[in-house]
Amino acid sequence: MEKKSFNPHVLFIPNTLQGHITPMVQFGKRLVSKGIKVTLVTTVYLSKSIHVDPECSIAIETISDGFDDTGSQDAGSIEACFTSFRINGSRTLAELIEKLADKGQPATAVVYDGLFPWVLDVAKQYGLFKAAFFNQTCAVNSIYYHVNRGLLKLPLTGSHISLPELPLLLPSETPLILYVYGKDLTPPDLVELVSNQYSNIDEADWLIFDIFYKMEEKIVDWMSKLWKVGTVGPTLPSMYLDKRLENDKDYSINLFEPKTSTCMSWLNDKPIGSVVYVAFGSIGSPVPEQMEELAWGLKGINCYFLWVMSDSMKTKLPNKFIEEISDQGLVVSWCSQLEVLAHKSIGCFVTHCGLHSVMEAVSFGVPMVGMPLFVDQQTNGKFMEDVWRSGIRVLPDETGIVGRQVFQKSIKEIMEGEKGIEIKKNVMKWKELAKEAVDEGGSSDKNINEFVAKLLSCS
Ligand code: UDP
């Protein structure tokens, strides 16, 4: 019997965090621009609150994580939340695949968050093409892979970790959950969660990474000996890079509403390169002692600063801090980080080294002061400082806190010092390389074209 062929239709299944949804949406837009139908699959609960640009070219469908009414914060723990998503998600994803087939829009492929290896098992049942998407670096993923295969034993011992094509890492420069394994209350289940990304990976048809080749060429080459690997980043709106996708100006699907006009009008009258932008991503929240040190550090250095913090973070600020800073600083609950980093007044970015924030800073040529908090950020911070040489990493003292003078010294060095000139030169080089990667004929562009060809050939 003749095999029936369909137009490619890819289901994207990201974790429900901003830093996971954004890169998939941006990668999805690139596929849509090449004629592929893309549907983003998120949870019933999240679908009720996300802000979707009406012009967004990606369709949305929902599955259940078992917390449709209350959200997964009710799960009690991260592990319980992932377990519930695996059980309910597997069932409802299968139902969705069947529903789409009945509607005459059958799914032909899945692009799933590496943290959801169960999607691969569902997709296999329906004969779909399976691509795992990772929004942590290849270095971090190589570490998880070695843990998964028992090639890197926990708890970590010795003064350094040595893995193929990675710089020597201090144990404290590996992802925090591995470093603290056996030392504190971090549940072993969390380690299992990240290492399990590799449990069935040999069955995936593609591994997609949200970085660009030049950032980690040796590690990408090493991984390519094991799997079909494609780097597709930076996954920023095209307008900020190659400008080939008309109307791709922002991230289109957001969990929070930005205070864009407040930020822009405040930044507009500040001198070029005079503002320190401070943000710790969508979930990072330093402890009160750390917030206090950073707050006094910024105030004392007498520079302008724009600081993103949620209402719960605000409660950790020193008394009357916001009233006292007057026009020196602006505090907002969320901003369009893209527009802020692209603004000429920004001279330095104090970041938690979340991969997306680092990629954005690099793509806009903004030097960083990195204060890693958790997950993969310790490793990103190491690379940001020593490999990409795009900023200065600030490290905590024996009490676990980065002191105010450390911030002041690093920010001054970036904004005024000799080292700052060198760092700015490097980061501008990365800015060019980032653009080159996604532009026509660049490494990410070629990988995306190859991926599209594969989707077409197996539909
Ligand atoms: N972001 C934003 N506005 C803010 C703070 C963050 O748009 O006020 C975006 C930022 O542009 C990035 C994402 O949130 O795309 C954070 O991702 P990252 O990987 O840096 O950190 P995570 O949230 O995953 O810890």
Straight-line distance from the first to the last Cα atom of the chain, in angstroms, rounded to the nearest whole number: 16
Q: Which domains does the chain have, with CATH numbers?
A: 9-252+441-458 (3.40.50.2000), 259-335+344-434 (3.40.50.2000)
Q: Whose CA is nearest to atom 1 of ligand 1?
A: 337
Which ligand 1 atom is at minimum distance from the Cα of 333? 8
pLDDT at 75 over 90: no
Query: Residue 83: is it exposed, middle or buried by C-beta count within 10 angstroms (0-12/13-18/19+)?
Result: middle
**Ligand 1 centre and the CA of 95: distance in Å?**
32
pLDDT digits (tens, 9 = 90+) for 309-358: 999 999 999 988 998 898 899 999 999 999 999 999 999 999 999 999 99
Which helix (DSSP H) or strand (DSSP E) does residue 428 occupy? helix 418-438
**Band of pLDDT at residue 420, cut at 50, 70 and 90:** very high
Cβ atoms of 386 and 167 closer than 8 Å: yes
Which ligand 1 atom is at minimum distance from the Cα of 22? 15
Q: Could you give phi then psi for residue 168, rounded to 5 degrees?
A: -60, 135
CA 191 – CA 363 distance, rounded (Å): 31
SS3 349: strand
445 a catalytic residue? no
pLDDT at 2 over 50: no
The response to whether residue 335 sits with its C-beta less than 6 Å from ligand 1 reads: yes
Q: Could you give phi then psi for residue 435, rounded to 5 degrees?
A: -65, -45
Nearest residue to 302 (alpha-carbon basis) of 275, 267, 282: 275
pLDDT at 3 over 60: no
**Ligand 1 centre and the CA of 356: distance in Å?**
6
The response to whether residue 334 sits with its C-beta less than 6 Å from ligand 1 reads: yes
pLDDT digits (tens, 9 = 90+) for 373-402: 988 999 999 999 999 999 999 999 999 999
Which ligand 1 atom is at minimum distance from the Cα of 334? 8
pLDDT digits (tens, 9 = 90+) for 330-343: 999 999 999 999 99
pLDDT value, residue 184: 64
**Ligand 1 centre and the CA of 360: distance in Å?**
9
pLDDT digits (tens, 9 = 90+) for 181-232: 777 656 667 888 899 999 999 999 999 999 999 999 999 999 999 999 999 9
**Band of pLDDT at residue 259, cut at 50, 70 and 90:** confident
CA 239 – CA 246 distance, rounded (Å): 8
Cβ atoms of 332 and 308 closer than 8 Å: yes
Question: Is the peptide bond prior to 237 cis by the omega test (within 30 degrees of 0)?
Answer: no
The response to whether residue 308 sits with its C-beta less than 6 Å from ligand 1 reads: yes
**Band of pLDDT at residue 4, cut at 50, 70 and 90:** low
113 a catalytic residue? yes
pLDDT digits (tens, 9 = 90+) for 10-42: 999 999 988 899 999 999 999 999 999 999 999
Sequence-ordered list of residues with C-beta below 8 angstroms from that of 233, at least 6 positions apart, any chain? 23, 209, 210, 211, 212, 359, 434, 437, 438, 444
**DSSP helix, strand, coil percent of the chain (3-state; round to 5):** 45, 15, 40
pLDDT at 1 over 60: no
Average pLDDT score, the chain: 93
Cβ atoms of 280 and 306 closer than 8 Å: no
Q: Whose CA is nearest to atom 22 of ligand 1?
A: 281
Sequence-ordered list of residues with C-beta below 8 angstroms from that of 182, at least 6 positions apart, any chain? 154, 155
DSSP code of residue 161: B
| Ligand 1 pocket: which of 350, 356, 363, 377 to mutate (most atoms within 8 A of CB) | 356
CA 41 – CA 43 distance, rounded (Å): 7
The response to whether residue 356 sits with its C-beta less than 6 Å from ligand 1 reads: yes
Which ligand 1 atom is at minimum distance from the Cα of 341? 11
Of residues 9, 65, 113, 356, which has the active-site annotation? 113
The response to whether residue 19 sits with its C-beta less than 6 Å from ligand 1 reads: yes
Residues facing 39 on adjacent strands = 11, 59
Pairing of strands 109-113, 129-134: parallel
Q: What Cα–Cα distance (Å) separates residue 323 from each residue in 299, 330, 331, 359?
A: 12, 10, 11, 33
Average pLDDT over every residue of 419-425: 96
* Residue bearing tokens 């080749």: 213
Q: Whose CA is nearest to atom 24 of ligand 1?
A: 19
Q: Tell me the pTM.
A: 0.94
Cβ atoms of 72 and 85 closer than 8 Å: yes
pLDDT value, residue 76: 82
CA 38 – CA 60 distance, rounded (Å): 9
